[in-house]
Amino acid sequence: MADPKDPADLFRDMLGHWERTSNEVVGKLLQSSEFSRGMNNATTMTLKLQQTMHEQMTRFLAAANMPSREEVASLGAGMRALDERMARIEAMLSAATGTAPPERERPKPPRTRKPAPKKDS
């Protein structure tokens, strides 16, 4: 007769033993000073790479006479501030004259896609 143990129990025991062993090994590795030093070096290199890429992209955009992300963001903030000021001025003028401010419609994007031609069946 075959072994009375269930094969699934054997697999679960083997998996549990493997998990305990790997947790011990990885735990010791993570506590080592070499691992900490290596992770610190990797983080430092990543930050330096990001900084270098940012500087190179800024130089490239300046050479191509294009605005950087920060410049575009500051232009957008300035435009929002101007829009808010204009809205306040319009509200003050409409309150002074007793008329409602005109409704402004947002321009719609141009429709560039054409509908598919109908197939004759």
Q: What is the pLDDT of residues 32-82, one digit of tens each?
A: 889 889 999 999 999 999 999 999 998 999 999 998 888 999 999 999 999
> What whole-number distance in Å separates Cα of residue 77 and Cα of residue 68?
14
Query: 105 lies in a domain?
Result: no
What pTM did the predictor assign? 0.45
The count of domains in the chain is 2
Its domain, for residue 19, covers 9-66
Band of pLDDT at residue 2, cut at 50, 70 and 90? very low
**Same-domain status, 71 and 55:** no
More confident residue, 109 or 16: 16
**Same-domain status, 78 and 89:** yes
**Same-domain status, 34 and 52:** yes
At residue 37, the pLDDT reads 93
**Same-domain status, 46 and 29:** yes
Q: Say yes or no to pLDDT of 24 above 60.
A: yes
What's the rounded mean pLDDT across residues 89-109?
81
**Same-domain status, 53 and 74:** no
**Same-domain status, 13 and 62:** yes
> What whole-number distance in Å separates Cα of residue 24 and Cα of residue 65?
57
Query: 72 lies in a domain?
Result: yes
Q: Please name the residue that has the structure tokens 């983080």.
A: 43
